[in-house]
Structure 1
Amino acid sequence: MTTLTWAGAVRDRDRLRRLLQDYGVYAASAVLFLVAVALDTGFLSTANVRIQLFQVAPTLLVALGMALVIGTEGVDLSVGAVIALAAAVVPLYLGYGLPVALLIALVLGAASGAVGGAMVAFTRVQPIVATLSLMIGVRGLAELVNGNSAKPVTDAALLSLGGDSVAGMPVMAWLAAACAVVVGFTVHRTTFGRRLVAIGDNRQASRLSGLPVRRVLLTVYIVSGILAALAGVLIVGHGAEADPANQGLNMELNAITAVVVGGTPLSGGRVRVLGTVAGAVFMQLTTAVLTQHNVPASYTQIVEAAVICCAVYASQERGTR
């Protein structure tokens, strides 16, 4: 009887742990939101909600691409540098119109992702090594193109893209939401999504079964680069300046944290798109609450580091279960 009771307790504990791992980010976000509202009655004001949406949209865009990469058991550390490169290039081509400037930025993001993806897929360089070297090189290129100084942006179309709202919601938030829907559909409803998950679960078995492993890996890194470049363009439009030396800094860490907190394990084989959205919102709420209550930036960084550690630990638990 004692043995049965102990076994039941173990099962209950495992069940509770699985629930926390799968749905903890939603509960944590809800609790943090309630705390924010309780501490500041103005948190629900229209102006503040718009600010939070403006700030979370670029992180969400980058996190969506990162989720695809992590789903293949990879990582893309170059996304912050791609943001900087897009920010540096866009002002140079605004004279030809926003569509042309946006297209060039996205093409450069895709090219950057293709280089990293090719190193991972064809030369079998470890993703962290391939994208780390790319991060350093692309960041340097961005600063070289921009002259290593912030430049104001006055193009009305770009400022509208980064600052206007539709139905009370920022245009950039609508774009991030649309991308989340597309990525979610791709992962859960297409052959490409099933191949992506299978490759992340067991790359060797996928290769032996005839799946186009290289092509899928190359594609996810290209998509990650495109989404990062789009985030860079939106950041420039919202801030009305191009500053590659500072824009995109630590964005790769924020994106990885949002993905892992949202339930996508670093070991690959699973992509939780809705969880990634919740993870990005949770990270934004954490920063907003600490900032609005005058918590020093150093303490904010410590809290974010603790969240990252907890997320990585939870990810390891998922991977080994």
Structure 2
Amino acid sequence: MRPPGGARPLPRLHVGLALRRFGALIALAALILLNLAITPHFATMQTVSVNLTQICTIVIVGVGMTLVIATGGIDLSVGSLMAIAGALSPDFFTGSLTHLSNLYVNIALGIVVPVAVAGLFGLFNGWLVSSFRIQPIIATLILFIAGRGIAQVWTNGDLQVFKAPEFQAIALGHVLGVPFQVWIMLVMVAVAAWALKKTVFGRQVLAVGGNEPAARLAGVPVKRVKRLAYVISGLCSGVAGLIVIAMNSAADANLIGMGTELDAIAAVAVGGTLLSGGRATVVGTLIGAMIIQLVRYTLLANGVPDAAALLAKAALIVLAVWLQRQERA
């Protein structure tokens, strides 16, 4: 019944639903407030810059991982694709492979070619998943194993040390006082978030992950959507691999991207993307990565061993999965 005067009753506030939908943002705000209260020198530009650069490669890989998971898949090969891109790049921007004298052409090739190669390997993953209907965890496990081997064969397992300031600017340069790699991360997040919400491809990704048979009956090109999602994941991995070697002034095919696939999946899960597909939030992936990083930073800054941070990360993933199950129910 309506109250006197014909006014409509106020909607009930579903606190539980609000916590499940905005839990990641609430948790991030709580972590920031906690650090402002207990962690010395937290509210400084240096601290902010350090924490942001720590998550850049995870978030960039997480952008592609979000799209793949939104289709109902998974990509375990991202760390190995980072290694492939990182192994290829120095041979181009140093000119040892191209033998060109123009520095900027070499740098352009050292960025474009390795990222494109990583994208082609992503297409291979998508082809296995979509055309042969191999389980994504098995299909991407192939390059998880073989991809790092390819990178090691290319470099003979050697550490490639270089000094190339023009190339390294992608990781070590600053624009308006903010690291350039942070700008790359933010642009990629913004573009992917826009694509998911405003483009046909974004709606198709969510349709495929939500109900693939229904999407196919509705005319969605399921195979093409899945392949493109894995291609984007490969491209993102390639970009992340270049940032890693630019930061380290060296390319080590044995270590580049090691464990990044797990960190990216964790960020996606904590950020609120359904691991079963059908719903995705790229901004949530950014927030999820920031939560994981801030938990680790908070513990380390206050004298807690790093092993506790690993336990806290595991607990966050368990909590995120539990919240997703509650929301689906």
- TM-score, with structure 2 as normaliser: 0.90
SS at match of 1:43: coil
Is residue 2:188 matched to residue 1:189? Answer: no
Deviations, residues 156-204 of structure 1 (Å, cap 9, x unaligned): 1122111011111110100111111110111000111111111111001
Asked if structure 2 preserves the Cα contact closer than 8 Å seen for 1:267 and 1:316, the reply is no
Residue 18 of structure 2 corresponds to: 19
RMSD: 1.7
Is residue 2:53 matched to residue 1:44? Answer: no
Q: Which residue type is aligned with residue 68 of structure 1?
A: L
Is residue 2:246 matched to residue 1:247? Answer: no
Q: Which residue type is aligned with residue 272 of structure 2?
A: G
1:1-321 correspondence runs (5 A): 15-96=14-95, 97-318=106-327, 320-321=328-329
Q: Which residue type is aligned with residue 200 of structure 1?
A: G
Asked if structure 2 preserves the Cα contact closer than 8 Å seen for 1:116 and 1:131, the reply is yes
Deviations, residues 198-247 of structure 1 (Å, cap 9, x unaligned): 11110011112221000000000000010011011011111211122122
Among the aligned pairs, what percent are the same residue? 33
Asked if structure 1 preserves the Cα contact closer than 8 Å seen for 2:64 and 2:236, the reply is yes
Residue 103 of structure 2 corresponds to: none
Q: How many residues align?
A: 309
Give unmatched runs, 5+ long, in structure 2: 1-10, 96-105
Moved more, 143-152 or 74-83: 143-152
- How far residue 12 of structure 1 moved from its aligned partner, in angstroms, is 7.8
Aligned equivalents of 1:151, 1:287: Cα separation in 2? 30
- How far residue 314 of structure 1 moved from its aligned partner, in angstroms, is 2.2
Q: Which residue type is aligned with residue 278 of structure 2?
A: G
- How far residue 290 of structure 1 moved from its aligned partner, in angstroms, is 2.3
Residue 8 of structure 2 corresponds to: none
SS at match of 2:137: helix
Q: Which residue type is aligned with residue 21 of structure 1?
A: R
Aligned equivalents of 2:171, 2:255: Cα separation in 1? 18
SS at match of 1:75: coil
Q: Which residue type is aligned with residue 62 of structure 2?
A: A
Asked if structure 1 preserves the Cα contact closer than 8 Å seen for 2:296 and 2:306, the reply is no
Aligned equivalents of 1:291, 1:81: Cα separation in 2? 29
Question: Which of the two has higher C-alpha Rg?
Answer: 2
Q: Which residue type is aligned with residue 238 of structure 1?
A: M
SS at match of 1:143: helix
Aligned equivalents of 2:298, 2:248: Cα separation in 1? 22
Aligned equivalents of 1:82, 1:275: Cα separation in 2? 24
CA separation of 1:147 and 1:173: change in aligned 2, threshold 3 A: same
Moved more, 262-271 or 296-305: 296-305
CA separation of 1:298 and 1:41: change in aligned 2, threshold 3 A: closer
- How far residue 59 of structure 1 moved from its aligned partner, in angstroms, is 1.0
CA separation of 1:132 and 1:294: change in aligned 2, threshold 3 A: farther
CA separation of 1:147 and 1:286: change in aligned 2, threshold 3 A: farther
